[in-house]
Amino acid sequence: MSGYFGSYAMVVVLFLVGMAIFAGGLFVNRMLRPNRPTPEKLTTYECGVDPVGEGWAQSQIRYYVFTYLYVVFAVDAVFLFPWATVFAAPGYGVTTLVEMFVFLGFIALGILYAWRKRVLGWT
């Protein structure tokens, strides 16, 4: 297993060995475990509580807004780190600074809007 494809062949062999160990463990577990299904064991449950009512439940829109705000802050962080590395490079000083303040202004407007709508209060 030398040459260009030798390292790829080694990765494939190790992957296959890992898959064989994983599949073998599942197979041995299936052969050794007891299998006595009853209607009570096959019932859907959550946290040990029997299900009551329908399976569909409505959730509050507030949780979706929290998710959206998290995405906004994550995107903000994704753009801030590369900006910090490019800022010191020659030719990017003032232009990059202005662009980043415009970007942060949009982020600040989003935070201000969320604050005015009382979304940021955790109740």
Residues above pLDDT 70, as percent of the chain? 88
| Nearest to 121, CA basis, from 76, 59, 65 | 65
For the chain, the domains span 61-116
What region, left, alpha or beta, does residue 43 occupy, with left being phi > 0 and alpha being psi -120 to 50 degrees?
beta
The string of pLDDT tens digits covering residues 61-85 is 777 777 877 887 787 778 777 777 7
Q: Quote the CA–CA distance of 118 and 104 in Å, as a whole number.
A: 21
Q: What is the pLDDT of residue 14?
A: 95
pTM of the full predicted structure?
0.41
